[in-house]
């Protein structure tokens, strides 16, 4: 019997490559698809959901495990709302139904425009490395993180930031009826993950929340964290 498919939906990078620490253990139980979205300058959430639909439409009913990290969690929730009959389980990592820090995301979008300049990319790399180091991410993983981020399509990245400002799934969370695992980090500097995780749990009927008080936003890279232990 063929193993079920686990679809790993990426965050703002859009590549799926930042799941690399999780793939080995997950592959022992699932066919694993770290999803990479098609680079393009203009798209809507519906286009991203359509890409996932195209890649998974031949899977048996009720078999797909859908995992979404950060921005990818907003796509994962919309996929489940659109195709609930296909999904067996949903996992959400440091994500949100609405991004409440409007000023912060506006600033991030403005700063993204500066990344065309070499000095801005250097500063961003330094800040990212420092943040990951404070989260306990080892040097080799920080190096690999930076190498992956350098491959990100810039126009697509900017459009994803715009979509973060637009999304609000709060009123639809009660429609999610599949078993849901929520993972939230206490030292997340990008998303107030504990607060958002508790909000998600309070609105999704079959949700279980796992909190990691000492972890940061890069939970996928945190030593000792394994999605396979829960899925």
pLDDT values of the chain reduced to their tens digit, one per residue, 231 residues: 689 999 999 999 999 999 999 999 999 999 999 999 999 999 999 999 999 999 999 999 999 999 999 999 999 999 999 999 999 999 999 999 999 876 566 555 555 555 555 545 666 666 778 888 988 899 999 999 989 988 888 889 989 999 999 999 999 999 999 999 999 999 999 999 999 999 999 999 999 999 999 999 999 999 999 999 998
CA 140 – CA 192 distance, rounded (Å): 27
CA 16 – CA 172 distance, rounded (Å): 26
Q: How far is CA 35 from CA 8, 20, 182, 218, in A?
A: 6, 12, 20, 18
The pTM of this model reads 0.92
Q: Would you state the CATH architecture of domain 5-229? A: 3-Layer(aba) Sandwich (3.40)
Per-residue model confidence (pLDDT) at position 123: 63
Residues in contact with 224: Cβ distance below 8 Å, sequence separation at least 6, in sequence order: none
Closest CA to 230 of 181, 185, 169, 171: 181
């Amino acid at each position: 019997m063929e193993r079920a498919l686990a679809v790993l939906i990426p965050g703002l990078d859009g590549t799926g490559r930042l799941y690399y620490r999780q793939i080995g253990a997950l592959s022992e139980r699932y066919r694993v698809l770290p999803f990479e979205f098609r680079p393009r300058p203009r798209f809507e959430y519906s286009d991203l959901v359509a890409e996932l639909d195209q890649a998974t439409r031949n899977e048996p009913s009720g078999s797909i495990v859908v995992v979404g990290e950060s921005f990818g969690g907003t796509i994962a929730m919309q996929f489940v709302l659109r195709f609930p009959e296909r999904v067996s389980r949903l996992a959400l990592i440091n994500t949100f139904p609405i991004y409440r820090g409007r000023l912060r995301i506006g600033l991030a979008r403005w700063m993204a425009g500066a990344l065309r300049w070499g000095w801005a990319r250097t500063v961003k790399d330094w800040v990212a490395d420092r943040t990951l180091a404070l989260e306990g991410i080892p040097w080799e993983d920080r190096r690999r993180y930076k190498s992956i981020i350098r491959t990100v399509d810039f126009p697509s990245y900017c459009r994803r930031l715009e979509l973060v400002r637009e999304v609000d799934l709060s009123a639809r969370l009660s429609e999610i009826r599949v078993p849901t695992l929520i993972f939230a980090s206490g030292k997340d500097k990008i998303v107030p993950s504990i607060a958002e995780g508790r909000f998600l749990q309070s609105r999704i009927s079959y949700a279980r929340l796992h909190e990691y008080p000492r972890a940061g936003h890069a939970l996928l890279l945190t030593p000792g964290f394994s999605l396979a232990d829960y899925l």
